[in-house]
């Protein structure tokens, strides 16, 4: 009892202890948000419980001055470090995406900057070319994975493939996903009307709720949308079904019309139309 009272004395329990508690709570909340966004609820709960057990034992050792070799603070801290390192290794691709997202890393060369426009006609043309390519690939049962970026994309993600920075067209997309082409297994990353890179590798979703019928291409499409605001389009090489993925949710049997609507929304074409209408109205008044 004396040890418990001494712990709460001013020299041992002060503002530093409060800071420790706040940091621990923030850390646990961040961990839960990370795993819940990936829909790995069991892993998230296990991580939080493990952390609370380690902290609880550490505090108990301090309270009761336990000196057993099996419950030393050094051993507990060593176990905690091993667990954190192991988690970082398992989720390294997700952590890279997370850091890249908040650091705002993006890299586009001069060609991409010149052609990466926000012109409504160019974006509508890009939407039509993507829909045309997906429909042609689906008819021939050729698999495809297309990432559409409404804002920015990590340069680390682009570096997993081959930089193209090419004007978007249906024939180019179809040639990239040709089974005999060297880049057909990876993803194509598109920003507005530019193909930034091809043959890119995406992190696979670890969500256990995903249907076992979906393969690696679909898991990659879901995985990238769980961590970023991109939209992905998947064409199944087995069935020719076109799927659309946003925020970790996959919708299958997407028609050309629905795909066009989704692309228009991703490119912000409706917003551009409204801005152009307002600008036209202001000019007319003058």
Q: What is the mean pLDDT of each run of 10 residues along the chain (286 residues)?
A: 46 60 76 70 75 74 61 68 74 64 48 54 91 96 93 77 92 95 92 92 85 90 87 94 93 94 86 47 45
Final residue belonging to a domain, choices 40, 60, 90: 90
Measured CA to CA, the distance from residue 129 to residue 108 in angstroms comes to: 22
Q: Are residues 11 and 42 in the same domain?
A: yes
Final residue belonging to a domain, choices 62, 90, 118: 90
Measured CA to CA, the distance from residue 81 to residue 23 in angstroms comes to: 17
| DSSP annotation of 143 | -
Whether 120 is in a domain gets the answer yes
Q: Are residues 116 and 187 in the same domain?
A: yes
Angle at 151 between CA 204 and CA 244, to 5 degrees: 45
Range of the domain at 217: 110-280
Whether 95 is in a domain gets the answer no
pLDDT at 37: 67
Q: Are residues 271 and 179 in the same domain?
A: yes
Q: How many domains does the chain have?
A: 2
pTM, two decimals, is 0.62
pLDDT at 117: 52
Which residues is 198 bridged to in the sheet?
A: 162
Q: Phi first, then psi: give them for residue 237, nearest 5 degrees.
A: -80, -20
């Amino acid at each position: 009892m004396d040890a418990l009272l001494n712990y709460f004395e001013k020299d041992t329990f002060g503002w530093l202890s409060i800071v420790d508690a706040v940091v621990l709570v923030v850390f646990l909340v961040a961990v839960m948000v990370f795993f819940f966004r990936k829909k790995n609820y069991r892993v998230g709960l296990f991580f939080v419980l493990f952390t609370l057990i380690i902290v609880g034992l550490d505090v108990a050792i301090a309270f009761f001055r336990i000196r057993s070799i099996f419950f030393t603070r050094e051993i507990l801290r060593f176990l905690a470090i091993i667990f954190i390192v192991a988690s970082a290794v398992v989720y390294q691709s997700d952590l890279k995406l997370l850091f890249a997202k908040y650091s705002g890393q993006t890299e586009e060369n001069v060609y991409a900057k010149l052609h990466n426009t926000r012109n409504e006609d160019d974006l509508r043309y890009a939407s039509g070319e993507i829909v045309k390519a997906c429909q042609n690939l689906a008819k021939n049962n050729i698999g495809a994975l297309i990432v559409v970026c409404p804002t920015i994309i990590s340069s680390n993600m682009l570096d997993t493939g081959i930089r193209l920075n090419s004007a978007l067209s249906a024939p180019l997309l179809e040639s990239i996903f040709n089974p005999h082409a060297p880049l057909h297994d990876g993803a194509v990353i598109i920003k507005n009307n530019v193909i930034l890179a091809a043959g890119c590798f995406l992190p696979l979703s670890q969500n256990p709720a995903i249907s076992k019928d979906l393969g690696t291409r679909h898991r990659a499409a879901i995985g990238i949308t769980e961590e970023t605001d991109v939209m992905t389009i998947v064409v199944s090489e087995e069935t020719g079904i076109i799927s659309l993925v946003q925020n970790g949710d996959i919708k299958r049997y997407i028609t050309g019309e629905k795909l066009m609507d989704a692309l228009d929304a991703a490119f912000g074409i409706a917003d551009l139309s409204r801005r152009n209408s307002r600008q036209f109205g202001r000019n007319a008044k003058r």
